Amino acid sequence: MKIGIPKALMYYTYYPLWKHFFEQLGYETVVSGNTSKIILNNGVMNCVDDACLPVKLFHGHVMDLLDKADAVFIPRLTSINPGEFICPKFIGLPEMIKSSIKGLPDVLVLDHNAYRNIKNAYKAFVDIGKKLTGSTSMAVQSLKLARMSQKKYETILKQGETPLDIFETGEGHEINNVKGIIGLVGHPYLLYDQYVSMRIIAKLRNMGYRVMVPENIENTLIQEVCNRLPKKLFWSYGKKLLGSGLVMLENNMVDGLIFLSSFACGIDSFILELLHRYNQRRYRVPCTLITVDEHTGHAGFNTRLEAFIDMIEWRKAYDNNLSTYGTSVSGG
């Protein structure tokens, strides 16, 4: 049996875990194709209108798997960290797919809920593994090996790589003359989907800049900086975005910061505003917000990106070399 994994939402975060878990159970995995205009249009046409772009894309990727897989894997991510939640749309995703897309093959739903205890989330893997194979011990062993693969993947990311460098062959990231480092803050399903992100990582590298992403920042540093906030953040990915951005700013790790957000994302509208305010009050690092939706095109996107980089380079060249007031007039 082939198990299909949609290349959307949490794919770039958990793919090694999911892939190796099912393959250790003895099943073949197949991934939907890269996001394209066809996949996006299918998602838009087969999803409720008020859903955000990433959820619409997920619908399109599920449709791409209809003739490729015998079953489609759809995780129900309620909580990924104890005491925290993620976007409510992730909770209802399996039901949204079942009600919106006709002709679905079997749907494998993983009830991932770590709110009370991380062990509860791992138990969901054991349950689905036992359902597929009839063996609890085999499911436990498969999960153990899959978690090892996931940990190795996360370790590589902390060394400065991005998921694209690992998953996308031929996506070279060597830069001959490095001009600086740009921090990219955004959800993984935006940053690493090259169709939605307009290949922003490749474009920045072609301009001579390295990129730093939230996955490069140690979780302990994110937790430390978030502990100093006046209130606890109970949205896991909002916390990761805000915390990683603050770590980049606080430690002078980047020359500029780009927020990449999808239109109508409620959590982003709150988190990115907080990050912008902290930056304006304390760090004053050049930053910009780029919002994407299903209508975004390369022309306007490129203009925004190039203008931001031009501003950073102008600032480096002239901002620290301005004469004091009146010097050029008085001559002394």
Q: Which pLDDT belongs to residue 172?
A: 53
CB-CB contact of 73 with 5 (8 Å): yes
Q: Which pLDDT belongs to residue 300?
A: 84
Q: Which pLDDT belongs to residue 6?
A: 97
Q: Is residue 136 part of a domain?
A: yes
Q: What is the percent of the chain where pLDDT is above 70? A: 94
Q: Domain check: are 313 and 175 in the same one?
A: yes
Q: What is the pLDDT of residues 46-76, one digit of tens each?
A: 998 888 899 999 999 999 999 999 999 999 9
Q: Which of 106, 134, 158 is the last residue of a domain?
A: 158
Q: Domain check: are 140 and 250 in the same one?
A: no
**Is the model's pLDDT at 164 over the cut of 90?**
yes
**Is the model's pLDDT at 325 over the cut of 50?**
no
Q: How confident is the model at residue 320 (pLDDT cuts 50, 70, 90)?
A: low
Q: Domain check: are 208 and 295 in the same one?
A: yes
Q: Is residue 137 part of a domain?
A: yes
Q: Which of 126, 158, 190 is the last residue of a domain?
A: 158
Q: Is residue 328 part of a domain?
A: no
Q: What is the percent of the chain where pLDDT is above 90? A: 69
Q: Is residue 331 part of a domain?
A: no
**Is the model's pLDDT at 319 over the cut of 80?**
no
Q: Is residue 327 part of a domain?
A: no
Q: Which pLDDT belongs to residue 330?
A: 41
Domain count, the chain: 2
Q: Domain check: are 128 and 230 in the same one?
A: no
Q: Is residue 239 part of a domain?
A: yes
Q: What is the pLDDT of residues 36-52, one digit of tens each?
A: 999 999 999 999 888 88
Distance CA 64, CA 33 (A): 7
Q: Domain check: are 175 and 273 in the same one?
A: yes
Which CATH number fits the domain that encloses residue 39?
3.40.50
Mean pLDDT rounded to a whole number for the chain: 90
Q: Which pLDDT belongs to residue 158?
A: 95
Q: Domain check: are 216 and 314 in the same one?
A: yes
| pTM for this entry | 0.90
Q: Domain check: are 24 and 123 in the same one?
A: yes
Mean pLDDT, range 77-98, rounded to an integer: 89
Q: Domain check: are 112 and 174 in the same one?
A: no
Q: Which pLDDT belongs to residue 317?
A: 83
Listed ranges 136-150, 281-295, 309-323; the one with the highest mean pLDDT: 136-150
Q: Which pLDDT belongs to residue 299?
A: 78
Q: 3-state SS of the chain?
A: CEEEECCCCCHHHHHHHHHHHHHHCCCEEEECCCCCHHHHHHHHHCCCCCCCHHHHHHHHHHHHCCCCCCEEEEEEEEECCCCCECCHHHHCHHHHHHHHCCCCCEEEEEEEECCCCHHHHHHHHHHHHHHHHCCHHHHHHHHHHHHHHHHHHHHHHHCCCCHHHHHCCCCCCCCCCCCEEEEEECCHHHHCCCCCCCCHHHHHHHCCEEEECHHHCCHHHHHHHHCCCCCCCCEHHHHHHHHHHHHHHHCCCCCEEEEEEECCCHHHHHHHHHHHHHHHHHHCCCEEEEEECCCCCHHHHHHHHHHHHHHHHHHHHHHHHCCCCCHHHHCC
Listed ranges 231-235, 291-295, 302-306; the one with the highest mean pLDDT: 302-306
Q: Is residue 52 part of a domain?
A: yes
**Is the model's pLDDT at 149 over the cut of 70?**
yes
Domain that holds residue 41: 2-158
Q: Domain check: are 180 and 115 in the same one?
A: no
Q: Domain check: are 25 and 169 in the same one?
A: no
Q: Which pLDDT belongs to residue 266?
A: 74
Q: Which pLDDT belongs to residue 331?
A: 44
Q: Domain check: are 114 and 202 in the same one?
A: no
Q: Is residue 332 part of a domain?
A: no
Q: Which pLDDT belongs to residue 240?
A: 94
Q: 3-state SS of 82-117?
A: CCCECCHHHHCHHHHHHHHCCCCCEEEEEEEECCCC
Q: Which pLDDT belongs to residue 329?
A: 42
Q: What is the pLDDT of residues 234-290, one digit of tens each?
A: 888 889 999 999 999 999 999 999 999 988 777 888 888 899 999 999 999 999 999
Q: Domain check: are 49 and 138 in the same one?
A: yes
Q: Which of 157, 161, 160, 168 shows the shortest CA–CA distance to 193?
A: 168
Of 65-69, 91-95, 171-175, the range with the lowest mean pLDDT is 171-175
Q: Which of 111, 128, 158 is the last residue of a domain?
A: 158
